[in-house]
Structure 1
Amino acid sequence: MLRTRFAPSPNGPLHLGHAYAAVVAHDLARAAGGAFLVRIEDIDGARSLPALAAEFLADLAWLGLTWDEAVVHQSARLPRYAAAAEHLRALGLLYPCTCTRTEVLAASRATGPDGPVYPGTCRGRTDRPAGAAWRLDMAAALARTGPLSWDDALAGRQLARPERFGDVVLVRKDAPASYHLAVTLDDAAQGISLVTRGADLFAATDVHRLLQALLDLPVPRWHHHGLLIGADGRKLAKRRGAPALADLRRAAGPTDGLALANSLRKGQIPAGLTLAPSLEDTP
């Protein structure tokens, strides 16, 4: 059975870009007679606001979207992240890193999909310093797995090239897991068979495919959909003040959310926005 999910982070309100992503995931599941799930990715320290989770569910209900199982919170899954990290340490694939962002930026000689590529300053460390981040030894990981590929419903078969990211952080200094590790483990635990998300995360799938191979996890298909972008040519973002769905919901009638969702389904994008197939998001 096809299983999709919508997994927002409660560090700011949902906006129209989230509405479009939720509609895509919901409708693909419904069209296949499958299940649509909701996950709250709430492990971003003080930036995760518990009160927003209830707002998210109210927003989805206003859009006429329903989900099929209990909502999962990442904050309830911390032991699984810790166990996965310990497994990778036991394989000799993680090492501690105490470099600051400033130091990484100054020492980096290449740029990858996530920004400056880590130059390997701490690679080879075997101690466990308090407050360190933990990085994946990318070369050692790829030597263990060999070549990998994955399937996108829109773009077809893809050769995974996670080496472009360098030694990515899997356990952050300020959070129990990085996005890469947490989302990969969560999708596997929830049995997600089609991962839907924006085209801006297309390259990140290479890292997730690598982690699936290292942790012996099932491999789903992906569906990287287009992004809603504003008049400034960039994707909608909380940090840039995109209008909140909650504000629209409170100002509009109870059926206006369903009308909005239906408009998004038809490709009728609200004035001032454009649906782009891909976008490089710059700060």
Structure 2
Amino acid sequence: MKPKKTITLEFVVLVLLASVWFVICLFPLWMIFSGTFSSDSTNLTQAYWPNDFANGLSKIKYALNTINVWRATLDTFIYTMIALAGMLVICSLAAYEFTFFRFPLKKFFFGLMMGTMMLPLTLYVIPLYRMVFKLGLADTYIGVALPIMISPLSVFIMKQFLEDLPLSFIESARIDGAGHFVIFGRIVFPLMRNGIITAVVLLFLKAWSSFLWPSLVTAQNIKPISVTIANLFNPQFYVDTRVRFGAMLLAMIPPLALYLIFQRFVIKGISMSGVKG
């Protein structure tokens, strides 16, 4: 028979604080949802509960077809997938090299890489844009994804997971005749599963919500979802506020669904990286 858990004052306070924080975080999302599915006669500042789902669906349909939110979502999804694919190759190999191999100035280069996380994009966005423009990648999926896939945070997260992998695994594989990339592909990469999932989810959220870089490097061919929604607030043309809310709801679905699916892995990955770091 399991002993009964005693409810302490500390537990009650923590639950209350968590509940308050939960309400504060979800309140803006709920207001957007309620405002979208409310009648046109309802004051949006008082739309605390949805009262007209048919009207909300019509606003979402208008956002999809007339404002091209569907195309913006597709374009954003494509360059985000390209960024994730590039990150998996580049960052996982970098984490592999920094963990198991010795080379001159290894600590210096790793510290330099981690130091770039402290630099805001605005400091180097101009030379970055010039480089992409000279490569002929402006207004292309690869041009948008290229700077995003270089993620020092992803390297750090994967490296933290690799530090638990015994070096004897690598040495045994070398004795058996396995090459550099065979060891990485068959031994190292599968063992980084939690770290890879964490890095993928975090980079997906970053790429999906990125605004400054996509707005600079895209024009006619690519329509990022963040830029499309920002254009809805342009005072030069009128768009129904409920249509804006509907577009925001559509833009939230992919990152929210991805995070809810892999939430357990992300929390575990971040906590493990924090403990080791």
The structure showing larger relative contact order (alpha-carbon pairs under 8 Å, at least 6 residues apart) is: 2
TM-score in terms of structure 2 length: 0.25
Higher normalized strand content (fraction of residues): 1
Indicate the structure (1 or 2) with the bigger Cα radius of gyration.
2
TM-score in terms of structure 1 length: 0.25
Higher normalized helix content (fraction of residues): 2
